[in-house]
Structure 1
């Protein structure tokens, strides 16, 4: 009888091992497809219930030196910094060094309307503070240079609030910078030293830091943007850490970020009550430094990041101890689609392997009729379509320029995100009346407007 039980146990262990190997191979096939399509170049770590299913690098961390990405490669994680900042603030709350209800005026008495802006407003993007990244001149000409707190605050401090604090939601890097500026006034430590003391050091995140400009390491990834052909081979400048600061200055590795996930799962930094509060949507599916969504009936908490030459996504299904970490040293827009397909693999849901799509030729006369303005009122989003040198180009009012490739005369996909599809609806006379946008989030209709 004991022998039978032992043999059954061995059989179950073997089956589990084979299943894990199959999942790993399936995940690798998916990631390689994105790499071959030119939409991913970086490092990935995917784990479930304490077991790493895939940890691998794809492509070069440095094209000139021909060094490869791997689990130790250091990337800028950009706005995936925000969960660190929010967790630090919650740690200071637990230490009674500040309160979520504290007014900004407590730390900056002369801040305009600072008596109506709370720490919670800053955490949840409901402060109404102008986002300094909207200042194109500054971002194009000054963001790569060191800036002082005073210089940075001058970009937004005296700008009118976008709305009365707490009444609406608007993503504000300035708000997160203010959280970083508050830290030394509340805790007596600079922002970076506080992150090291309360998060990096306890979790042994030894490959993470802030000053990417001066990081001297063979493990440092070089960020790239695309040339006129769409190839990611142009070395991107680096946004100075004093500019990105508490909104986006951290660099890290997939291995360190997995330590971060594990620490959060174990409530090693703040207690369960405070951490769970961060995961509760405040407005617009945003909590305290986390985007809250659902997938396959489970809550997903995540944050993505985008900065010159780099993209990141850090997604977690906390109830199942699932973690997906994607760090990329090209400016790909495909990270959300990749994450959702990875989760489809983990949860045995249907998905497709991305294939390289070949566009067809459509005459300039046909393309020209699609030029004009289209609007999705509920977001709100306004997109201008232009014809440039025989190519249809989309200009959203709050996003990057995107070139469209034709699948046929009325259906298109984005050149740099082939999963993003656009179809035009025509009236009886052949005039466009709306367009259908389809991506990983779902379909949207944009109506043509004057």
Structure 2
């Protein structure tokens, strides 16, 4: 959970991160396991009331949600992007990849004019096997967008309200009667992030075969001090999404994996996406993952010696970061996430897109900066960036088989490549490193 697209109040949060700050983001994001940044650097909660009749707001990250939702995708989008458009993207991605210290990457872009996917580097440092575009990949905190999408589906079905307290579904949550589903989804609950706990992380990084239960993760978080009063301020916490996963199970009576399959994977025909249920086994073909997250001089460091983390169990992520997918599937999902098409009714998607603070920030399971909507994700050895440009109907997916920070900026490798590709598309992020 390291979303570098998080923002400061009223301005883009793209700032150079020192090693200590990057670590706070990384660990706070569940090794990001999954992907989002954290620790109070995003804007305060929005004072806007989500509305199914949201009007055009030029200051908003998504100025006209209705136009995004009603957008039609032409047949050309899924064809091959012409060379004149793909060559600059390839050059930008290759240069950005070369500037990282990661073994390999896969980059995919889908625009109204066509789709381009390319692979760089190697999938295995031992055999030097070239990276391929069809590899299965752990997507980390991008999983949060799936979990919160199912929450919005239940809201649309009137089985749940965003104003419902978490205590209605999960007992023994501190201040649970004062914490709403919305505050969990937009990271303003004030519940601590269990992956901010040093002892939890030390144990995980020294025994990566542990299968972590929901109760263990929640107990760790509930024993930690609150980060704020409910609704008072943003704080990225994997605990929030773990709790939302429990809500889905309580309401539907089915395991999260079944609901993901039924509600998202099958409707979008994402045949290469799965929720592994604490299994460390990746489908074939897959790239080896290499992590530089480890213990150095008794402390957690994102610059530890590189280790092969392919077989690490990521059950510590659960509903906040456990999904496995491919670039092709994520290109389909990224557009559906932005438009709601195939996932949510119009009113529910307008509510979701209108939940993002003006002019940018974190809404209901989504980051948004300068029109780019999505999430970043990370588990040890795997880093993903998934963003949809609401202004040009363009989806960008970056998968990297390492979590090693890039240069002095200390950003994730997937985001570093994303920034370069976004610029080549003419939709660069102002203030990006």
Tell me if TM exceeds 0.5: yes
| Residue of structure 1 in register with 2:269 after alignment | 204
Say whether 1:286 aligns with 2:362: yes
Say whether 1:120 aligns with 2:182: yes
Please say if residues 303 and 313 of structure 1, whose CA atoms lie closer than 8 Å, have aligned partners that are also in contact.
Answer: yes
Kindly state the Cα deviation for residue 208 of structure 1 after the two structures are TM-superposed: 1.2
Kindly state the Cα deviation for residue 65 of structure 1 after the two structures are TM-superposed: 4.2
> CA separation in 1, counterparts of 2:218 and 2:200?
13
Say whether 1:317 aligns with 2:389: yes
Q: 1:188 aligns with which of 253, 263, 268?
A: 253
| Shift in alpha-carbon separation, 1:92–1:65, aligned structure 2, 3 A | farther
| Shift in alpha-carbon separation, 1:274–1:266, aligned structure 2, 3 A | closer
| Residue of structure 2 in register with 1:336 after alignment | 415
Kindly state the Cα deviation for residue 310 of structure 1 after the two structures are TM-superposed: 1.3
| Shift in alpha-carbon separation, 1:213–1:440, aligned structure 2, 3 A | farther
Structure 1: give runs of 5+ residues left out of the alignment: 1-16, 352-438, 443-450
Say whether 1:80 aligns with 2:147: no
Q: The residue matched to 1:154 in structure 2 has which SS?
A: helix
| Residue of structure 2 in register with 1:247 after alignment | 320
> CA separation in 1, counterparts of 2:223 and 2:308?
35
> CA separation in 1, counterparts of 2:348 and 2:333?
17
| Residue of structure 2 in register with 1:23 after alignment | 85
Say whether 1:221 aligns with 2:287: yes
Q: 1:277 aligns with which of 336, 351, 371?
A: 351
Please say if residues 221 and 239 of structure 2, whose CA atoms lie closer than 8 Å, have aligned partners that are also in contact.
Answer: yes
Please say if residues 280 and 311 of structure 2, whose CA atoms lie closer than 8 Å, have aligned partners that are also in contact.
Answer: no
Kindly state the Cα deviation for residue 210 of structure 1 after the two structures are TM-superposed: 2.5
Q: 2:224 aligns with which of 159, 173, 177?
A: 159
> CA separation in 2, counterparts of 1:233 and 1:181?
34
> CA separation in 1, counterparts of 2:179 and 2:427?
45
Q: Higher mean Cα deviation, 32-41 or 166-175?
A: 32-41
Structure 2: give runs of 5+ residues left out of the alignment: 1-78, 297-302, 405-411
| Shift in alpha-carbon separation, 1:163–1:36, aligned structure 2, 3 A | closer
Structure with greater Cα Rg:
1
Kindly state the Cα deviation for residue 137 of structure 1 after the two structures are TM-superposed: 1.9
Please say if residues 107 and 398 of structure 2, whose CA atoms lie closer than 8 Å, have aligned partners that are also in contact.
Answer: yes
| Shift in alpha-carbon separation, 1:266–1:83, aligned structure 2, 3 A | closer
| Residue of structure 2 in register with 1:60 after alignment | 122
Q: Deviations over 1:364-405 (max 9, x none)?
A: xxxxxxxxxxxxxxxxxxxxxxxxxxxxxxxxxxxxxxxxxx
| Residue of structure 1 in register with 2:203 after alignment | 141
| Larger RCO (alpha carbons 8 Å, 6+ apart) | 2
TM-score for the superposition, normalised by structure 2: 0.70
> CA separation in 1, counterparts of 2:237 and 2:333?
24
| Residue of structure 2 in register with 1:14 after alignment | none
| Residue of structure 2 in register with 1:441 after alignment | 432
> CA separation in 1, counterparts of 2:268 and 2:83?
29
Please say if residues 210 and 241 of structure 1, whose CA atoms lie closer than 8 Å, have aligned partners that are also in contact.
Answer: no
> CA separation in 2, counterparts of 1:108 and 1:155?
16
Please say if residues 281 and 292 of structure 1, whose CA atoms lie closer than 8 Å, have aligned partners that are also in contact.
Answer: no
| Shift in alpha-carbon separation, 1:302–1:249, aligned structure 2, 3 A | same
Q: The residue matched to 1:320 in structure 2 has which SS?
A: coil
Q: CA RMSD in A?
A: 2.8
Q: The residue matched to 1:62 in structure 2 has which SS?
A: coil
Q: Deviations over 1:320-339 (max 9, x none)?
A: 21011001001242333322
| Residue of structure 1 in register with 2:108 after alignment | 45
Q: Which structure shows the bigger proportion of residues in strand conformation?
A: 1
Please say if residues 136 and 326 of structure 2, whose CA atoms lie closer than 8 Å, have aligned partners that are also in contact.
Answer: yes
